[in-house]
């Protein structure tokens, strides 16, 4: 797939053929996971390089390496051709690399000028911060980028677009040579996006090298000069944007064998178990309607922030929808709270299992029985023997190996903690199980086990909703796929329509 690799020097024109920043065969591994495998990247002054890839392709890992938050395990970073290391974020800033994040990492309670100059404020006598110089310079920089913002304003009083401008002003104030923009337009309106494009042009004329991370193909083709595509932590292609088409980019992003690692499933689905009609929330999602059958795995695909988790949390009773109806097993129901949802047969295994899944300070059996205490207690008194029985039944079913059910969950390995969380939900004997990113951040072997297990659950007649941002997983596991975009259902796909390109097109709105 390295079909464009030979063209990688092309974006460099005659007057600036020396990259300001180079990644040379950089590798980053975490225990059990390779996040980046020998990737290379070149950024040229006055040029915009678009970094493209699926969720989990390694884009944010690159950003974290370039800004000194992660240290690479192999390869090297070069500035102006000489190797450099960024042990801390400060070192990256000193070398002239700055990042503007999707969610701005600024300080709401400080003024605009303080945000711009935090950490490198102009000093006056006795080493004190020279406020008036700071205000003047902040105003100067802001005017330079066409931002009409009073530097004394507190940051929290600004809108999201102006916060981005402050972040950009901050980048300019430290005289950055490399500006990384991580999905900068994700939260902006069309008008604000246009203004951002103008600003990017302005930064280009100032000779900054820009790394532009985006899911939106229209803007990639509009402002980027060159592209780099990552897939599964590896470089799959790069070159000049003029030499590539949208379809080719999509193919590079997703192209791979899909079927091999997934269990073969018989798509035997039963009666309708869950019907959702017109679910709405004032700010997060609108007009969500679908049906789910026994024994079915329904995939929910979308970009991060498409409103999938928000909708699932609402279906599970954590937030209340403003409109919409749910029918479970033929009965019209109103879900008032998570306890209510569990009682009615819907369980939700959240994405952030560390934070939302297990209770580290409680033993295994207490974690497993927590949502089922209604069945293992009488008049508010716990029946310990029944708790142990229930916990033993479901941990054995998941093949959880631990010395004793009395073992604290905090002392288990990550994989075993996951098993405790799943055992906990299965013990409630649900009708519908919602799995939010069930394999995020776990190694290939564990992924296969989770997939196998999902197939088993479906075969037993449980209806499974799987929220996933990994295309192979969505396509390999699901009977049907719902694609969400900006809080709405963009498409419902089944059969031959379930192709990687189709998913990406619907999710990105192209």
Partner 1 sequence: MPKQILMSREVLLTGAIALLLAIIATRFPAFITPSNLANVFNDTAPLILLAIGQMIVILTRCIDLSVAANLALTGMVVSMINVAMPGLPVPIIILVAVGFGALLGMVNGILVWKLEIPPIVVTLGTMTIFRGTIFLLSEGKWINAHEFSDPFKAFPRAELLGLPLMSWIAIAAVIFFSIVMSRTTLGRAFYAAGGNPHAATYAGIDVGRTQFWAFTISGALAGLTGYLWVSRFAVAFVDLAGGFELSVVAACVIGGVAIMGGIGTVVGAMLGALFLGIISNALPVVNISPFWQLAISGGAIIIAVALNAQANREKGRIILKRAEHAT
* Contacts with partner 1, residue ranges (CB under 8 A): 30-33, 35, 60-61, 316, 318, 337-343, 348, 350, 352, 354-363, 366, 370-371, 373, 377, 380-382, 384, 406-408, 410-411, 414, 417, 424, 440-442
Nearer to partner 1, 60 or 173 (CB): 60
Nearer to partner 1, 405 or 477 (CB): 405
Nearer to partner 1, 45 or 58 (CB): 58
Closest approach of Cβ 446 to partner 1, in Å? 11
Nearer to partner 1, 81 or 380 (CB): 380
**CA dist 417 → 211, 366, 369, 436 (Å):** 38, 13, 14, 16
Closest approach of Cβ 34 to partner 1, in Å? 12
Q: What radius of gyration, in Å, describes the C-alpha atoms of the chain?
A: 25
User: What are the residue ranges of helices labelled H in 255-369?
Assistant: 308-315, 338-343, 353-356, 364-369
Long-range Cβ pairs for the range 135-142 (8 Å, 24+): 137/113, 137/173, 138/112, 138/113, 138/169, 138/173, 139/113, 141/116, 141/169, 141/172, 141/173, 142/112, 142/116, 142/166, 142/169
Closest approach of Cβ 414 to partner 1, in Å? 5
Nearer to partner 1, 242 or 304 (CB): 304
Distance of alpha carbon 203 from alpha carbon 169, whole angstroms: 11
Nearer to partner 1, 246 or 408 (CB): 408
Closest approach of Cβ 332 to partner 1, in Å? 21
Q: Look at residue 433 and give its three-state secondary structure.
A: strand
- 407 with 438: CB under 8 angstroms? no
Closest approach of Cβ 407 to partner 1, in Å? 5
Distance of alpha carbon 99 from alpha carbon 246, whole angstroms: 26
Question: Left if phi > 0, otherwise alpha if psi is -120 to 50, otherwise beta: which for 445?
Answer: alpha
- 112 with 150: CB under 8 angstroms? yes
Nearer to partner 1, 219 or 436 (CB): 436
Closest approach of Cβ 148 to partner 1, in Å? 37
Closest approach of Cβ 487 to partner 1, in Å? 22
């Amino acid at each position: 797939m390295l079909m464009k690799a030979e063209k990688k020097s092309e974006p460099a024109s005659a007057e600036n053929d020396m990259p300001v920043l180079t990644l040379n065969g950089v590798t980053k591994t975490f225990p059990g996971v390779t996040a980046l495998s020998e990737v290379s990247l070149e950024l040229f002054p006055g040029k915009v390089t678009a970094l493209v890839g699926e969720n989990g392709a390694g884009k944010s890992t690159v950003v974290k390496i370039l800004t000194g938050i992660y240290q690479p395990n192999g390869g090297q970073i070069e500035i102006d051709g000489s190797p450099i290391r960024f042990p801390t974020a400060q070192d990256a800033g000193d070398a002239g690399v700055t990042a503007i994040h999707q969610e701005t990492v600024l300080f709401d309670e400080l003024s605009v000028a303080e945000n711009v100059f935090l950490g490198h404020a102009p000093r006056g006598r006795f080493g004190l911060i020279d406020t008036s110089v700071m205000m003047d310079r902040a105003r100067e920089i802001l005017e330079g980028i066409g931002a009409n913002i009073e530097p004394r304003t507190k940051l929290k009083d600004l809108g999201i677009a102006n916060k981005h401008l402050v972040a950009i002003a901050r980048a300019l104030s430290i005289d950055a040579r490399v500006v990384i923009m991580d999905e900068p337009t994700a939260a902006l309106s069309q008008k604000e996006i246009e203004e951002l494009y103008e600003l990017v042009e302005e930064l280009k004329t100032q000779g900054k090298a820009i790394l532009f991370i985006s899911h939106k193909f229209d803007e990639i083709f509009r402002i980027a000069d060159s592209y780099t595509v990552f897939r599964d932590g590896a470089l799959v292609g790069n070159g000049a944007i003029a030499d590539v088409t949208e379809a080719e980019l999509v193919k590079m992003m997703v192209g791979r064998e899909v079927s091999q690692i997934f269990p073969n499933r018989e798509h035997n689905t039963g009666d309708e178990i869950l019907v959702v009609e017109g679910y709405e929330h004032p700010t997060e999602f609108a007009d969500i309607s679908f049906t789910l059958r026994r024994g079915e795995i329904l995939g929910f695909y979308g970009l991060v922030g498409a409103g999938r988790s928000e909708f699932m949390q609402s279906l599970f009773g954590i937030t209340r929808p403003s409109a919409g109806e749910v029918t479970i097993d033929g009965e019209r129901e109103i879900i008032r709270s998570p306890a209510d949802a569990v009682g009615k047969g819907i369980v939700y295994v959240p994405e952030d299992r560390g934070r939302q899944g297990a209770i580290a300070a409680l033993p295994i059996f207490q974690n497993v029985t927590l949502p089922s205490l209604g069945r293992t207690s009488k008049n508010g008194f716990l029946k310990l023997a029944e708790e142990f029985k229930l916990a033993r039944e479901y941990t054995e079913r998941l093949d959880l190996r631990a010395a004793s059910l009395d073992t604290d969950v905090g002392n288990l390995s990550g994989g075993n903690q996951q098993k405790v969380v799943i055992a906990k939900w299965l013990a409630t004997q649900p009708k519908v199980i919602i799995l939010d990113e069930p394999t995020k951040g776990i190694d290939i072997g564990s992924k296969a086990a989770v997939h196998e297990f999902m197939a088993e659950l479906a075969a037993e007649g449980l209806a499974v909703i799987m929220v996933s941002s990994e295309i192979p997983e969505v396509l390999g596991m699901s009977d049907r796929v719902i694609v969400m975009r900006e809080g709405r259902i963009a498409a419902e796909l089944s059969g031959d329509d379930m192709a990687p390109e189709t998913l990406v097109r619907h999710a990105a709105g192209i």
